[in-house]
Amino acid sequence: MSRYTAVTDQDLREMLDAIGVDSLDDLFDDVPEAVRLERAIDLPDGRSEQEVYDHLAALAARNVHADAEVSFVGAGMYDHYVPALIDTLLGRSEFLTPYTPYQPEVSQGGLQVMFEYQTAISELTGLPVSNASVYEGPSAVAAAGYLAKLETRRTKLIASRGLHPHSRAALATHAVGYGMEVVEVPLDENGVTDLEALAGAVDDDSAAVFVQQPNFLGSVEELGELVEAGKSTGAMFVCAADPLPLGILRPPGELGVDVCVGEGQTLGNRLDFGGPSFGFFAAAERFIRRMPGRIAGQTTDVDGKRGFVLTLQTREQHIRREKATHNICTAQALNALAGVVYLSWLGKRGLVELGELMLRRTHYARGELGLEPINPGPVMREFAVRVPDVDGLFERARADGINPGYRLGRDYPEYEDGLLVAITERRTKEHIDRLARVAAATREGVAA
Residues near 131 by beta carbon (within 8 Å), at least 6 away in sequence:
118, 281, 282, 291, 292, 293, 294, 295
User: Once rounded to an integer, what is the mean pLDDT over residues 5-11?
Assistant: 88
CA–CA separation, 247 and 196 (whole Å): 29
pLDDT (0 to 100) of residue 103: 78
Closest among 194, 190, 189, 234 to 211, alpha carbons compared? 194
Which residues of the chain does CATH 3.90.1150.10 include? 71-81+348-447
In one letter, which amino acid is 241? A
- Decide: helix, strand or coil at residue 184: strand
Say if CB 212 and CB 239 are below 8 A apart: yes
In one letter, which amino acid is 79? D
CA distances from 66 to 72, 335, 351, 358, 433 (A): 9, 20, 23, 18, 18
User: Once rounded to an integer, what is the mean pLDDT over residues 194-206?
Assistant: 97
The full length of the chain comes to 448
DSSP structure class, residue 88: H
pLDDT at 291 over 60: yes
CA–CA separation, 145 and 238 (whole Å): 9
pLDDT at 330 over 70: no
pLDDT (0 to 100) of residue 137: 95
pLDDT (0 to 100) of residue 265: 96
Report the DSSP pairing between strands 306-313 and 294-300.
antiparallel
Residues near 321 by beta carbon (within 8 Å), at least 6 away in sequence:
none
CA–CA separation, 329 and 195 (whole Å): 38
In one letter, which amino acid is 294? R
pLDDT at 328 over 80: no
pLDDT at 64 over 90: no
What is the band of 189 on the pLDDT scale with cuts at 50, 70, 90?
Answer: very high
CA distances from 309 to 132, 227, 277 (A): 12, 35, 24
User: Once rounded to an integer, what is the mean pLDDT over residues 125-145?
Assistant: 94
Which residues of the chain does CATH 3.40.640.10 include? 84-343
Helix or strand (DSSP H, E) at 437: helix 429-447
CB-neighbour burial class of residue 348 (10 A; exposed 0-12, middle 13-18, buried 19+):
exposed
Say if CB 86 and CB 268 are below 8 A apart: yes
Digit-coded pLDDT (tens) for 86-122:
999 999 988 888 777 777 778 888 899 999 999 999 9
The domain 71-81+348-447 is classified under which CATH number: 1.10.150.20, 3.20.20.10, 3.30.565.10, 3.90.1150.10? 3.90.1150.10
Residues near 221 by beta carbon (within 8 Å), at least 6 away in sequence:
162, 192, 193, 211, 212, 213, 214, 215
CA–CA separation, 37 and 412 (whole Å): 37
Residues near 332 by beta carbon (within 8 Å), at least 6 away in sequence:
133, 134, 135, 136, 276, 277, 278, 279
Second CATH level (architecture) for the domain 84-343: 3-Layer(aba) Sandwich (3.40)
pTM: 0.88
